[in-house]
Amino acid sequence: MTHLSERYARQARFHGIGADGQAELMTKRVLVVGLGALGAAVSDQLVRAGVGLVIVDRDYVEVTNLQRQTLYTEQDATAETPKAIAALERLRAINGDVEIDAHIADVSWDWLRPLPHVDLVLDATDNVETRLLLNDFALERGIPFLFASCVGAYGMNYTVLPGEAPCLRCLMRHLPLAGQTCATAGVVAPIVHHVASRQAVEALKYLTGRHEKLERRLLIEDLWENQSQRLDVERLVDAACPSCQQNEYPSLVSNRQQTALLCGRDVVQVRRSIEGLEPIANQLERADITMKKTPFTLEWRWRGHRMLLFKDGRVLVHGVNDPHVAVAMVDECLGA
């Protein structure tokens, strides 16, 4: 047996995949947006299965992540390593035979538009706007979008199949997507891995051509209360939906939002146009501002608040929740 056939031998022996299915998996590329708890878990499973990935996240590893985000270590948290970089290193250590492209970025239509072909889009995000963006992107490309969400011990899974079922925008008025968050209600790791496993197995079904096995219902589960539901949502197609019925894709617009609140963290993200970190480092140095440099970020303190600048021009202003205050602080440091 070859090295690769040994690696995937048990998976290829599974009747639902087989040798032909395994060969198919090794030609596929999946976009995973968000590398928190869900993104880390599902990326781990897919890389072990031999699937190529495009992974993207805008944030860095913190100690509060380690309870449930299984790709990261205490060293990553201490170094405040961008999640995309830490995940890439760990996933390559798990399986060096698959192609993995990692990006430190805040996903927008401008970022997605030039993206080369992917076969599937996996949602591992924490906000409605990005989910609707991914919903529209997948529909526009004619590929499935695997929505997932978890908080506390409660999780949801749903597969958006272009032309076959209601999309996420259709279901928005029926799903509690804007309620509690991990920051307010907490989360236990088992629900993360449960939901991620459902995402992963649906991905394997689709990527191996076993579309008849796909779960077309909305799954809602509460592991703590031992409750589960499978809801037939076919009748919830909105005939006026601009995304799946009118092909207008309202979320596919150039990003004009200069600020964003990060979920439940008293952190405001401010966008700036910069030409790399070094000119900013020189500017801060001239202003006698002490900073910490990494290959990916600059960190300093201003008016008692921690500021973290990424290469793409995003500044995370910690300890504030007012975008106007955050913008003013960034202007003071970097100029308007």
- List the catalytic residues: 182
Per-position DSSP letters for 7-50, written without gaps between them: HTHHHHHSTTTHHHHHHHHTT-EEEEE--SHHHHHHHHHHHHHT
Distance CA 83, CA 148 (A): 19
Q: Which residue has the tokens 């300890």?
A: 319
Distance CA 281, CA 242 (A): 45
Distance CA 20, CA 117 (A): 22
155 Ramachandran zone, left/alpha/beta (phi>0; psi -120 to 50): beta
- Residue 172 contacts by C-beta under 8 Å, 6 or more apart in sequence? 128, 132
Residue 60: count other Cβ atoms within 10 Å of its Cβ: 25
Distance CA 259, CA 244 (A): 29
Counts for the chain of helices (H) and strands (E), in that order: 13, 14
- Residue 269 contacts by C-beta under 8 Å, 6 or more apart in sequence? 58, 106, 259, 260, 261, 262, 314, 315, 316, 317
